């Protein structure tokens, strides 16, 4: 049987106390506890502590450490239940203490996958332009159950999706001015699919996309043609060069009529316009 002989506050952490024990006339450091544990067990100088009580105190303190670690993790941003479990396991906390911490956080509303999923979707869809499929995939990676994700995605209706697509397309299209309308649409479609938007919503927006003005399309064709000519003329000339340029420009989405007009004008030495 040992007796608490001295209690001091830790210098680096004012929330923790050092407990010293005396047994057989010799004082030694016994253990450290969180202030809440100290109060809960009514620890005080002169209190006798046997081995069983000591184990219980240490276990309770370890449980409190786990909760404090979790609270610190939550202080940066919201977390999913699975994220919290993974974090505490990485910190090598005991399974039963992790379970207690999770239950505590849920009880106080600190952990709620439904709230997390809803907030995540609102934030990421607007700030990073992500579609429902991408968001669903990311929430799955964070351990959110699919039914919870599907429920949260109900707020992401088709009209909201189209508005986001239109916003992004308008911005990206200005960067693709040197490409044909057809090539632009194909490129935009693939990029939007990669961002997790549904094909039907993408297609609907792109179908309503106004084609470039003829002058803009010709400027894009001219840019691509000159680029191709510099590359191909090092290997082929004459009719073969003309054929390869026509083939490459068609694959880039320009119409046969515009390509022929450009090539004829180019061969005459003008800009291809009548």
Q: Say whether both 22 and 78 belong to one domain.
A: yes
pLDDT on residue 236: 80
pLDDT value at position 225? 81
Is 22 in the same domain as 101? yes
Distance of alpha carbon 22 from alpha carbon 29, whole angstroms: 9
Torsion over CA: 240, 246, 247, 248 (sign): positive
pLDDT at 272 over 60: no
Question: CA triplet 194, 195, 200: central angle to 5 degrees?
Answer: 85
Q: Do residues 94 and 124 both lie within one domain?
A: no
pLDDT at 175: 67
pLDDT digits (tens, 9 = 90+) for 55-92: 999 999 999 999 999 999 999 999 999 999 999 999 99
The reply to whether 50 and 131 lie within a common domain is: no
Structure token digits, residue 36: 């809440």
| Average pLDDT score over residue span 33-45 | 93
Name every residue whose Cβ is closer than 8 Å to that of residue 140 and which is 6 or more positions away in sequence: 146, 149
- Same domain (yes/no): 14, 91: yes
| pLDDT over 60 at 128, yes or no | yes
User: 123 and 70, same structural domain?
Assistant: no
Q: Do both 83 and 170 map to the same domain?
A: no
Q: Which domain holds residue 137?
A: 113-156
46-51 mean pLDDT: 93
Number of domains in the chain: 4
Digit-coded pLDDT (tens) for 209-268: 766 555 577 777 788 888 888 888 888 888 888 888 888 887 877 878 778 887 877 776
In angstroms, how far is the first alpha carbon of the chain from the final one?
Answer: 107
- Does 56 lie in the same domain as 13? yes
Burial of 44 (0-12, 13-18, 19+ CB in 10 A): exposed
Q: What is the CATH number of the domain that holds 64?
A: 1.10.10.10
**pLDDT band, very low/low/confident/very high, at 274 (cuts 50, 70, 90):** very low
**Does 273 score more than 60 pLDDT?**
no
Look up the CATH number of the domain holding residue 146.
Answer: 1.10.10
pLDDT for residue 211 = 61
Average pLDDT, the chain: 88
pLDDT for 186 equals 86
My answer on whether 226 and 269 are in the same domain is yes
Same domain for 182 and 151: no
Angle 78-98-8 (CA atoms, 0-180°, nearest 5)? 95
* Cβ atoms of residues 156 and 135 within 8 Å: yes
Summarize pLDDT for 164-184 with one digit per residue, the tens.
898 888 888 776 667 777 888
Considering only 51-60, 94-103, 163-172, 193-202, which range has the smallest mean pLDDT?
A: 163-172
Residues 135 and 193 in one domain: no
Strand ranges for 10-141 from DSSP E? 16-23, 26-34, 48-49
Q: Are residues 11 and 93 in the same domain?
A: yes
């Amino acid at each position: 049987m040992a007796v608490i002989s001295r209690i001091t506050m830790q210098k680096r952490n004012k929330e923790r106390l050092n407990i010293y024990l005396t047994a057989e006339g010799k004082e030694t450091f016994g253990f450290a506890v969180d202030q809440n544990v100290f109060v809960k067990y009514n620890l005080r100088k002169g209190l006798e502590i046997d081995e069983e009580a000591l184990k219980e105190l240490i276990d309770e303190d370890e449980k409190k450490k786990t909760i404090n670690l979790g609270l610190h993790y939550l202080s940066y941003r919201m977390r999913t239940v699975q994220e919290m479990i993974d974090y505490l396991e990485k910190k090598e906390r005991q399974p039963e203490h992790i379970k207690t911490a999770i239950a505590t956080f849920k009880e106080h509303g600190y952990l709620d996958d439904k709230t997390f999923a809803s907030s995540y979707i609102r934030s990421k869809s607007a700030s990073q332009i992500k579609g429902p499929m991408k968001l669903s995939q990311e929430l799955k990676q964070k351990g959110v159950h699919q039914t919870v994700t599907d429920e949260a995605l109900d707020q992401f209706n088709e009209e909201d999706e189209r508005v986001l697509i239109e916003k992004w397309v308008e911005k990206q299209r200005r960067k693709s001015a040197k490409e044909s309308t057809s090539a632009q649409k194909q490129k935009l479609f693939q990029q939007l699919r990669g961002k997790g938007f549904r094909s039907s919503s993408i297609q609907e927006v792109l179908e309503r996309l106004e084609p470039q003005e003829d002058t803009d399309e010709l400027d894009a064709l001219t840019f691509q043609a000159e680029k191709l000519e510099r590359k191909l003329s090092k290997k082929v000339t004459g009719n073969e060069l003309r054929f390869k340029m026509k083939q490459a420009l068609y694959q880039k989405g320009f119409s046969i009529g515009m390509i022929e007009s450009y090539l004829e004008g180019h061969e005459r030495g003008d800009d291809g316009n009548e």
